[in-house]
Amino acid sequence: MKGSIAVIGAGSWGTALAIVLAPRFESVSLWAHETDLVERMASTRINDVFLPGFPIPANVEPTADMAHALHDAEIVLGVMPSRFARGLYQAMLARMSEVARQVISQKFMPRIAVLSGPTFAREVARGEPTALVISSSEPALAASIQLEFSGPAFRLYTNDDPVGVEIGAALKNIIAIGAGICQGLGLGNNTLAALITRGLAEISRLAVALGGNPATLSGLAGLGDLVLTCTGELSRNRSVGVELAKGRTLAEIVGSMQMIAEGVETTSAAVELARKHNVDLPIASQMHAILSGRRSPRDAIRELMERSLKHE
Mean pLDDT of 110-122: 93
Mean pLDDT of 95-101: 69
CA–CA gap between residue 9 and residue 30 (Å, rounded): 7
Query: Any residues with CB less than 8 A from the CB of 246 and at least 6 apart, and which?
Result: 184
Instruction: Evaluate if residue 289 carries a pLDDT over 80.
Output: yes
Please report the pLDDT score of residue 91 as a whole number. Answer: 42
Task: Give residue 265's pLDDT band: very low, low, confident or very high (50, 70, 90).
Answer: confident
Task: Give residue 81's pLDDT band: very low, low, confident or very high (50, 70, 90).
Answer: confident
Instruction: Evaluate if residue 309 carries a pLDDT over 80.
Output: yes
Instruction: Confirm if 78 and 96 have CB atoms less than 8 A apart.
Output: yes
pTM > 0.85: yes
Q: pLDDT for 1-30, tens place per residue?
A: 578 999 999 999 999 999 999 999 999 999
CA–CA gap between residue 263 and residue 236 (Å, rounded): 9
Please give the order of strands across the beta sheet that includes 114-116. Answer: 114-116, 130-135, 154-159
Does 59 or 65 have the greater pLDDT score? 59
Please report the pLDDT score of residue 86 as a whole number. Answer: 60
Mean pLDDT of 76-92: 68
Q: For the chain, give every domain's residue range.
A: 2-80+111-159, 162-305
Q: Of the given ranges (136-140, 151-155, 252-256, 289-293), which has the lowest mean pLDDT?
A: 252-256
Which 3 state secondary structure label does DSSP give 197?
helix
Pick the CATH number of 162-305 from 1.10.1040.10, 3.40.630.30, 1.10.10.10, 3.40.50.300: 1.10.1040.10
Mean pLDDT of 61-88: 82
Pick the CATH number of 2-80+111-159 from 3.30.300.30, 3.20.20.70, 3.40.50.720, 3.30.70.100: 3.40.50.720
Please report the pLDDT score of residue 104 as a whole number. Answer: 62
Mean pLDDT of 71-78: 89
Kindly report the average pLDDT of the chain as a whole number: 92
Please report the pLDDT score of residue 2 as a whole number. Answer: 76
Catalytic residues: 172
Q: pLDDT for 164-197, tens place per residue?
A: 999 999 999 999 999 999 999 999 999 999 999 9
Mean pLDDT of 249-258: 90
Instruction: Evaluate if residue 32 carries a pLDDT over 50.
Output: yes
Task: Give residue 85's pLDDT band: very low, low, confident or very high (50, 70, 90).
Answer: low
Please report the pLDDT score of residue 260 as a whole number. Answer: 79
CA 12, 15, 16, 21: dihedral to nearest 10 degrees?
A: 160
Instruction: Evaluate if residue 70 carries a pLDDT over 70.
Output: yes
Please report the pLDDT score of residue 66 as a whole number. Answer: 84
Q: pLDDT for 196-205, tens place per residue?
A: 999 999 999 9
